[in-house]
């Protein structure tokens, strides 16, 4: 067994034990769910039994995960630096596990638009949390006040806009692929619909 193989072997065993303990299960409970003996499971976790593919498939299913996730290697590029858009006051991080998803941190200074025609709608889904200050989310005909450490999640097919209340606020948003496309700018520095980006989600 090579050094890399030994590291992966040790990682998988530790992962099985950690997932079992996270569920609050004893060796006996997981063994019963996986259809293996308690002593076999104990030897798997402690490195005294060879890892067999059929047992890993069974254990992954019992632990409510996939074989791919169970044997996934630890990535080298764990730390990700943001892409900074100074014009919009944004920091953006792509999510490698889901290339269609993007995380954006933005400072918002303007209130939401008064004119409903400036609200936008597009396919997708968005989640955001207010890191500081207070945000106002316009969603259809409704208005939501989101304070520091509160979050909101909504389908972006509803006409929406977000702005600050009583001073600047900072938000962290997670956009799926469709929602991100709906917020991409054209080459003029304006949003796709021609409006200012400061008070939009």
User: What pLDDT is attached to residue 188?
Assistant: 29
User: CB-based contacts of 190: which residues, under 8 Å, 6+ apart?
Assistant: 196, 197
pLDDT at 38: 93
pTM above 0.95, yes or no: no
The answer to whether 12 and 56 have CB atoms below 8 angstroms apart is: yes
Task: Please give the pLDDT value at position 191.
Answer: 37
Which mean pLDDT values do the consecutive 10-residue runs of the chain (201 residues) have? 74 91 93 93 91 90 89 71 79 75 90 85 89 94 94 90 94 84 46 38 52
| Planar angle of CA 19, 68, 8, nearest 5 degrees | 70
Report in angstroms the alpha-carbon separations of 70 from 74, 75, 93, 123: 11, 14, 25, 33
pLDDT value, residue 107: 92
Alpha carbon separation from 113 to 118, 131, 160 (Å, rounded): 7, 21, 10
**Per-residue pLDDT, 194:** 31
Q: What is the pLDDT of residue 25?
A: 94
d(CA 105, CA 89): 8
Structure tokens at 117: 């025609």
Rounded Cα distance between 4 and 8, Å, is 6
Residue 62 · residue 77 · CB < 8 Å: no
In contact, 199 and 161? CB cutoff 8 Å: yes
């Amino acid at each position: 067994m090579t050094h890399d193989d030994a590291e992966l072997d040790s990682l998988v065993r530790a992962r099985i034990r950690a997932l079992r303990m996270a569920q609050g299960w004893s060796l006996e409970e997981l063994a019963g769910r996986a259809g293996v003996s308690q002593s076999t499971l104990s030897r798997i976790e402690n490195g005294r039994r060879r890892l067999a593919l059929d047992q890993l498939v069974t254990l992954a299913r019992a632990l409510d995960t996939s074989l791919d996730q169970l044997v996934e290697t630890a990535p080298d590029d764990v730390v990700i630096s943001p892409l900074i858009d100074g014009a919009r006051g944004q920091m953006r991080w792509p999510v490698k596990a889901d290339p269609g998803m993007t995380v954006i941190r933005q400072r918002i200074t303007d209130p939401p638009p008064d004119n409903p025609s400036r609200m936008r709608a597009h396919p997708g889904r968005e989640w955001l949390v207010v890191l500081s200050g207070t945000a106002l989310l316009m969603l259809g005909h409704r208005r939501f006040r989101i304070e520091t450490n509160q979050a909101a999640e909504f389908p972006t097919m509803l006409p929406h806009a977000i702005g600050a209340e009583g001073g600047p606020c900072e938000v962290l948003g997670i956009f799926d692929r469709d929602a991100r496309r709906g917020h991409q700018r054209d080459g003029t520095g304006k949003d796709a619909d021609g409006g200012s980006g400061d008070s939009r989600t």
